[in-house]
Structure 1
Amino acid sequence: MAHAHHDHHEPQGDDLARAAQQTLERSGEQWTAMRASVFGALAGFDKPASAYDIADAVSKREGRRIAANSVYRILDLFVGANLARRVESANAYVANAHPDCRHDCIFLVCDVCGQTTHLDDDKLTQAVRRAAEGVGFVPERPVIEVRGTCAICAQPVN
């Protein structure tokens, strides 16, 4: 039975990069220097980043221009391998802090500051899957996005 809510130890920095590398290699892909650079840049953002944001960060770090098209290909690979999640409404990406765990995704997206919080609520996402299946739809990977205002932005200014 799925848990209503569960928490994960979320590796950061080098531990997160190692977890991502191990996950990608287990899927049969190579962890190249460019993939490591893209993942490092993505993980360095504190809110969802576009491929252009990531290409710019990698270009500065590498001292040479990196095309956004190259970054898009790597991000597609990362999403498929569960290393990154795509925030559809923002056309941006976030690093998956627990790449070994496969579950559906709920994002809370602040319309004021752009901060995005990732929630795990298997009870809710299973209900969405059951509703889709009830009308003959086969859900692959539901992503739920809730747009609104985060707690910080909602606080009144003194």
Structure 2
Amino acid sequence: MNDDPSRYVAIEDSLGSVITRAARIVGREADLAARKVGSTYSQLSVLSVMRRNDTTTPREVAKALDVDSGYVSRVLDKLEQCGLLERKRSLSDRRVVDMRLTNRGGALAAQAPAVVDKTLNDRLRRFSGAEVEELRRLLAKFVDRA
């Protein structure tokens, strides 16, 4: 690979910058959509992961979302305050906190994919089906380090 500095793209035009901007746009728009169902994008993400992956600990949720445990703890606190999930110490290992969705939390989690899909569909409406699939494939390849 040639390390000639004149061939580098300005940071604001780099692939990393474009990916970051795209993620922020989607996050903002998904958050606006989530507010229509009385939630936030962060909360819907956690609820959805818990429902879909049957995750029962904060650590599992953090790993599934690729975020730090402090972030997850703050979201879980809010979800618990809203009556959307319950937490309790594990009987087998007191260091572990087990969680479960309440009926209200499960119902909201069931709505999460539709809320997020609408946001993404609005953003992707100028793409053909083949382009969307190619974008998904390329981004999956980008994030998969295996």
Q: TM-score range by the shorter chain?
A: 0.3 to 0.5
Which has a greater percent of strand?
1
Q: What is the TM-score of this pair, normalised by structure 2?
A: 0.39
